[in-house]
Amino acid sequence: MLTASSAPSAQAREAMELLNAEASKLNIWLRTQANAPAQPPWFRDTRVEARGQIAAGRVGAAQVKPLPHLWQWRQISPYLDRIAEIARGADVSPIEFAERQQFLLTNPGLGGRLQVTSTIRCAVSIYNPGDVAPVHIHSPNASRTILSEGGGYTTIDGERCRAARGDLILTPNGTWHDHGNDGTEPVIWIDVLDFPLMEFLDCVWLDEAFPGQTQGNSPAQPVTRGPCYSHRLYGQGGLAPRFVPHQRGFGLGTTPMFHYRGADIREALDGLRREDGDPYEGIALRFVNPTTGASLFPTLDYGAQLLRAGEATRFKRETASTLYIVIAGEGATEVGGQRFDWRANDIFVVPSFAWRRHISENAGDAVLYSVSDIPLLDKIGQYRAQGRLPDDTVAELAP
Ligand SMILES: [Fe+2]
């Protein structure tokens, strides 16, 4: 412990900082302060309004921390039309000048990196009629949440999933997949990947050399499964087929169910609306691997929740981070003392350690989809959650 006499004087610290500026050219950093972690100790009850900024002090100049943030659909969506317009007028196929017609969301706290949290990447994609993304395979786990009413497909492991609004379509790591739009209207969806985590672990790989015959101008895998294959195999809760292996592709610990329909998700939520629900989440459902009950991916947990008209949840915080997509309704989420008003198609992120609660408008229900890195935090023995009780005391929710 530092005593008054051993504490560095301001003058000495200033001299060290100057020396640091010079030394940085050699890619070294002279320690001037104790490491400044991004988070306060978990067991200290941080105030609801704490903004989740990096603690005082620093560890090198490049230390970053995700911030809570809302991307409003009315602000970002015009860029999709502009991308699509350029693609329509181009003299080469879009795939030749931009691998995808999409934009990626960047968290303002992460210095321009292509990620919304430490583990999650999020992109918004548009596919014009006739657009095709060639068949490929990679190590990151990915999903798309469909915003358009209809149109577009993703083929995964020989199963063609036809998309509609609110659908969740999964491309687990190690599965061959391709996308396209064979309809007459542009199709828009939101891609979510654990790419930043894989990148951090130096575990990203991708391959486009599909083994076997591909079809069409832009290589697509042949459709080898019947329509609604995932749904026919696993679509009845509590029943799993005995005559197929539940391993698809060569990813490990991933779900064999690739397609959850928006209409089914909404029906399930509505069917539970008269239950009490969870005081911190409302009527919340978890997407699970139907054969194990585990998360869909080893890294990411997916959820859907109904907030009934006028419902306000209690404050909760977790050591995991969560990305939300607003599927229906209007409302607000308070995170670390900031209020984010949202409506359909908006996307927002709640970083780890920040207190948050959701409030839906009095006028109607709201539906949020979420993706968190809870399974990852859980596996490394770091998942914790707390909730605030009505008397403002704090309850341990997990572990
Ligand atoms: Fe992909």
Instruction: Please report which helix (H) or strand (E) contains residue 162, including its range.
Output: strand 159-164
Q: How far is the CA of 208 from the centre of ligand 1 (A)?
A: 10
Q: How far is the CA of 389 from the centre of ligand 1 (A)?
A: 42
- In this predicted structure, what is the pLDDT of residue 99? 63
Please state, in angstroms and rounded to a whole number, the distance separating the CA atoms of residues 132 and 53.
42
Q: In what order do the strands lie in the sheet with 132-138?
A: 159-164, 150-156, 177-180, 132-138, 206-207
Nearest to 190 by CA among 344, 330, 319: 344
Residue 292 — φ and ψ, nearest 5°? Answer: -130, -20
Amino acid at 155: T
Please state, in angstroms and rounded to a whole number, the distance separating the CA atoms of residues 151 and 185.
7
Q: How far is the CA of 138 from the centre of ligand 1 (A)?
A: 6
Please state, in angstroms and rounded to a whole number, the distance separating the CA atoms of residues 273 and 269.
6
Q: How far is the CA of 269 from the centre of ligand 1 (A)?
A: 29
Please state, in angstroms and rounded to a whole number, the distance separating the CA atoms of residues 331 and 341.
6
Helices (H), 326-379: 374-379
Q: How far is the CA of 318 from the centre of ligand 1 (A)?
A: 29
Instruction: Note whether 89 and 101 are within 8 A (CB).
Output: no
Amino acid at 314: R
- In this predicted structure, what is the pLDDT of residue 13? 77
Q: How far is the CA of 258 from the centre of ligand 1 (A)?
A: 14
Q: How far is the CA of 369 from the centre of ligand 1 (A)?
A: 21
Q: How far is the CA of 212 from the centre of ligand 1 (A)?
A: 18
- In this predicted structure, what is the pLDDT of residue 58? 53
Q: Which two tokens stand for residue 237?
A: 């809760």
Pairing status of strand 177-180 against strand 132-138: antiparallel
Q: How far is the CA of 144 from the centre of ligand 1 (A)?
A: 10
Q: How far is the CA of 257 from the centre of ligand 1 (A)?
A: 17
- In this predicted structure, what is the pLDDT of residue 373? 98
Question: pLDDT truncated to tens, each residue of the chain (399 aa)?
Answer: 444 444 557 788 788 888 888 887 887 877 766 666 777 788 887 788 766 555 555 555 566 789 999 999 999 999 988 887 887 777 665 555 556 788 999 999 888 899 999 999 999 999 988 888 899 999 999 999 999 998 799 999 999 999 999 999 999 999 999 999 999 999 999 999 999 999 999 999 999 999 988 877 778 999 999 999 999 999 998 999 999 999 999 999 999 999 999 999 999 999 999 999 999 999 999 999 999 999 999 999 999 999 999 999 999 999 999 999 999 999 999 999 999 999 999 999 999 999 999 999 989 999 999 999 999 999 999 999 999 999 999 999 998
- In this predicted structure, what is the pLDDT of residue 62? 61
Q: How far is the CA of 90 from the centre of ligand 1 (A)?
A: 24
Q: Is 130 helix (H, G, I), strand (E, B) or coil?
A: coil
DSSP state of 252: S
Please state, in angstroms and rounded to a whole number, the distance separating the CA atoms of residues 369 and 301.
11
Nearest to 126 by CA among 86, 166, 155: 86
Q: How far is the CA of 137 from the centre of ligand 1 (A)?
A: 6
- In this predicted structure, what is the pLDDT of residue 5? 45
Q: Is 129 exposed, middle or buried (0-12, 13-18, 19+ CB in 10 A)?
A: middle
- In this predicted structure, what is the pLDDT of residue 316? 97
- In this predicted structure, what is the pLDDT of residue 328? 98
Q: How far is the CA of 136 from the centre of ligand 1 (A)?
A: 6
Q: How far is the CA of 282 from the centre of ligand 1 (A)?
A: 33
Q: How far is the CA of 125 from the centre of ligand 1 (A)?
A: 12
Q: How far is the CA of 60 from the centre of ligand 1 (A)?
A: 35
Instruction: Note whether 324 and 73 are within 8 A (CB).
Output: no
- In this predicted structure, what is the pLDDT of residue 246? 96
Please state, in angstroms and rounded to a whole number, the distance separating the CA atoms of residues 263 and 172.
22
- In this predicted structure, what is the pLDDT of residue 301? 98
Q: Dihedral sign, CA of 33, 37, 41, 47?
A: positive
pTM: 0.92
Q: How far is the CA of 177 from the centre of ligand 1 (A)?
A: 6
- In this predicted structure, what is the pLDDT of residue 6? 47
Q: C-alpha distances in angstroms, 313 versus 109, 147, 310, 317, 363?
A: 26, 26, 10, 12, 17
Pairing status of strand 142-146 against strand 187-193: antiparallel
Please state, in angstroms and rounded to a whole number, the distance separating the CA atoms of residues 99 and 125.
11
Q: How far is the CA of 178 from the centre of ligand 1 (A)?
A: 7
Q: Which two tokens stand for residue 100?
A: 């995808």
Residue 20 — φ and ψ, nearest 5°? Answer: -65, -40
Q: Is 201 exposed, middle or buried (0-12, 13-18, 19+ CB in 10 A)?
A: exposed
Please state, in angstroms and rounded to a whole number, the distance separating the CA atoms of residues 150 and 19.
60
- In this predicted structure, what is the pLDDT of residue 326? 98
Q: C-alpha distances in angstroms, 281 versus 42, 173, 261, 326?
A: 21, 29, 21, 14
Q: Which two tokens stand for residue 399?
A: 């572990």
Q: How far is the CA of 365 from the centre of ligand 1 (A)?
A: 33
Q: Which two tokens stand for residue 42?
A: 């978990």
Instruction: Please report which helix (H) or strand (E) contains residue 322, including its range.
Output: strand 322-328
Q: How far is the CA of 325 from the centre of ligand 1 (A)?
A: 20
Please state, in angstroms and rounded to a whole number, the distance separating the CA atoms of residues 159 and 270.
29
- In this predicted structure, what is the pLDDT of residue 302? 98
Q: How far is the CA of 238 from the centre of ligand 1 (A)?
A: 30
Q: How far is the CA of 330 from the centre of ligand 1 (A)?
A: 31
Q: How far is the CA of 109 from the centre of ligand 1 (A)?
A: 26
Q: How far is the CA of 142 from the centre of ligand 1 (A)?
A: 7
Q: How far is the CA of 111 from the centre of ligand 1 (A)?
A: 25
- In this predicted structure, what is the pLDDT of residue 4? 43
Q: How far is the CA of 182 from the centre of ligand 1 (A)?
A: 18
Q: Is 153 exposed, middle or buried (0-12, 13-18, 19+ CB in 10 A)?
A: buried
Q: How far is the CA of 264 from the centre of ligand 1 (A)?
A: 25
